A and B are shown apart, each in its own frame.
Chain A
Amino acid sequence: MDNGGRSLNRKDLLGIEELSREEIELILEQAEGMKEILERPVRKVPALQGFTIANLFFEPSTRTLNSFLLAERRLSADTVNVSASSSSVLKGETLLDTAKNIEAMKVDMVVLRHSCPGAPHFLAKRIDASVINAGDGSHEHPTQALLDLLTIKEKFGKIDGLKVLIVGDIMHSRVARSDILGLRKMGAWVRVCGPPTLIPLWIDELGVEVEYNLDRAMRDVDIIYVLRIQKERQKKGLFPSIREYVKYFCITPERLRQAKEGVVIMHPGPMNRGVEISPEVADGPWSVILDQVTNGVAIRMAIIYLLARRRR
């Protein structure tokens, strides 16, 4: 895992937007080293002994929280978890007070998941501890984008020049935003597809192409990235029914006949089987969904290590 003493020259990791291509490459390279640790019989290194990390999760999360926790423990950091629903924050203590209290217990790093865009940016300016954004509303989810980039790089040996299709609720997806930014920075070409009510009118500002017809959209791409469709969106009237969504946007083996030979399917999880993705596709030869999960731990180890190294 030694990287010749390189570190990320920043206090926080708040979004892909602020990262340079070189920084992304450094994180991916470091993560490859971390993967080697995960293959060992004893999957733990003493790198961050005495380093304390607080996981502040103000939104329900199983996968991301556990992925961070494992990453922290593999590096021998001490951890503390604070979970609260956003509503209890509204009623009582503010985010800033919660964070300041935790910082007063001598914590070096805060991993924050929050429903408000910019919450980690807000916190980062006001506390000395490093802040890692583990998802802020519909804004960014940088660690997810980085693990996706790592998965793509492993699968194709490169990112530059690939064509990627992102399907689903682009409007409310932090994964979509971070992935678009990351893929564009690394030289990939991106198209988005979904019902027009779930695609922001100004999405072309992010340098992507829009196509509402899935069959046309998937024809020439190397990767289809399927987003989770949240059922609450239907209740808000953003599309008429799950049934009609499935009809036009569910990725099925039949549909994939339109796609290129060797097309790869990705999904950030958790999946709604039979809604945005059919079980045959999720478990089929196209899928790298479980590789994404494995890479999640490695990427988070790399980010924590690179930020911590600067602090020490």
Chain B
Amino acid sequence: MIKIKGGRLFDPKNGIDEEGDIYIVDGKVRKEGAAEIEIDAAGLYVFPGFVDLHAHLREPGREDEETIETGSRAAVKGGFTSVCAMPNTEPPVDNQGVARFVKEKGEKAGYARIFPIGTITKGRKGEEISEFGDLIEGGCVGVSDDGDCVRRSDIIRRALEYAKMFNIPVIEHPEDTYLSEGGQINEGRISTILGMGGIPSISESIIVARDIEIANFVGGWIHLTHISVKDSLEKIIEGRKKQRGKITCDVTAHHLVLTEDKVKEFNSNFKMKPPLRSEEDRRALVWGLRNGVIDAIITDHAPHAFFEKELEFDLAPFGVVGLETAFSSLYTYLVEKGELELATLVMYLSSSPALLFSLPYGEIRDGGIADLVLVDLKGEWEVREDTLASKSKNSPYLGEKLRGVVVCTIVDGRIVYREGEWRRRNEGISS
């Protein structure tokens, strides 16, 4: 049994913002109890554990970049207690066997809870839909061909229809590749100055519009991931008015903070898909979050080997790591600067994504599952290669000092991370 003493309990979903003590008994949050272990949380915030709907843990296939073990260590260091693992691995998660492998590796690692996402199509080829039922039985909580868009309209239609009988999200990576081909960064002012191939905003908003039309037509659930442009938000707002399909979306932490101007130094740690967009887009995304248009903040954690990123910009792969910097970058750049309320940030990192994917976490209530994170908002840490737990170090914040330090992370009532030390749930202190 654990007592968390004197922390500031903060759960926007249940309207909690008060100093007090809580107990953890049998993996559940309790108002009262006895304590074997006491955590002094004076000066710390106690948030519901964060839930990431979109991370790349690279296993199986690229264990040199990240493993489920290292990725879930990075997750809890960043305050994430649940992580959805994207299926673009090698082999991809397009059958129950691979799904079970991911799930079991997650259990064995014993840090964050790992939920596999299955592919929409077999082999991620965009031609035939995968066995959604089998994938769900293997532990999948959604399907996605992320990394690639489902190019064929008939295939995404069939996926949206078929998924109706399971009530799972079909997670689309919206990108019209005919329009984005050869693109490296956002098409706009900076791509013009740098002479780089542009990825136009319409390459995203066209697929957003298409998928919304189809979801509304068949009455399916489309989840549009890593929305990055203003026009996409407009399409989503319009599309929801029809109330036929279910239309949900998320935004990455880095698209809320960074813009295309960062690319001017040719640093490939600012190269990702979708690309960093204009300041106008970034502001629209923050607006979308504050006004309930966007359902969740994701990391899109995308580890890449140093030797692959340390290349000419055009040749480097897309993607940046984010599990460890998502909260502190958003806190430092948005909350402290007055662009976003702390409550909004915490809600879209915890309860909102949990509810969306029907995961029973993301809140602090008597009897609720004890997935919690203790954060020192005044604390500061420097993002360096040696301070990142992820196997890959391709962070856009390298060299920066961020505020908001995760001090302790609790999953299922067990301390899995505390001040630079990890402990597996299955060998942790029993409550």
Contact = CB atoms under 8 A, between A and B. Distances in A.
17 contacts: A95-B312, A96-B310, A114-B312, A115-B314, A117-B194, A118-B313, A122-B312, A122-B313, A137-B196, A137-B314, A140-B195, A200-B191, A200-B192, A202-B187, A202-B188, A202-B192, A205-B192
Nearest to A178: B195
A176 to B, nearest CB: 9
Contacts of B187: 201-202
B317 to A, nearest CB: 13
B274 to A, nearest CB: 18
Interface of A: 17, 90, 94-96, 114-119, 121-122, 137-140, 172, 174, 177, 200-203, 205-206
A94 B311 contact: yes
Interface string B339-359: 000000000000000000000
B188 A118 contact: no
A86 B292 CA distance: 47
- Please classify how large the interface on chain B is, using the bins under 10, 10 to 19, 20 to 34, 35 or more: 10 to 19
Given A139-B196, A202-B188, A117 B266 contact: yes
Given A94-B311, A122-B312, A137-B314, A117 B195 contact: yes
Contacts of B193: 17, 177, 205-206
A94 B315 CA distance: 10
B192 A118 contact: no
A202 B15 CA distance: 46
B189 A202 contact: yes
Interface of B: 187-189, 191-196, 198, 265-266, 307, 310-315
A240 B240 CA distance: 41
Contact of B315 (A90, A172, A202, A205): A90
A203 B265 CA distance: 20
Given A117-B266, A118-B266, A201-B187, A206 B192 contact: yes
Contacts of B314: 115-117, 137
Closest 3 CB pairs of A and B: A138-B195, A118-B266, A116-B312
Given A117-B266, A117-B313, A139 B192 contact: no
A202 B191 CA distance: 9
A206 B195 CA distance: 12
Contacts of A177: 193, 195
Given A118-B313, A122-B313, A137 B192 contact: no
Contact of A203 (B192, B196, B313, B315): B192
A116 B192 contact: no
Nearest to B310: A96
B194 A139 contact: yes
A127 to B, nearest CB: 13
A114 B312 CA distance: 10
Contacts of B312: 95, 114, 116, 118-119, 122
Given A96-B310, A121-B266, A205-B189, A116 B195 contact: no
B183 to A, nearest CB: 13
Contacts of A172: 195
B203 to A, nearest CB: 14
Contacts of B194: 117-118, 139
A52 to B, nearest CB: 24
A210 to B, nearest CB: 12
B196 A117 contact: yes
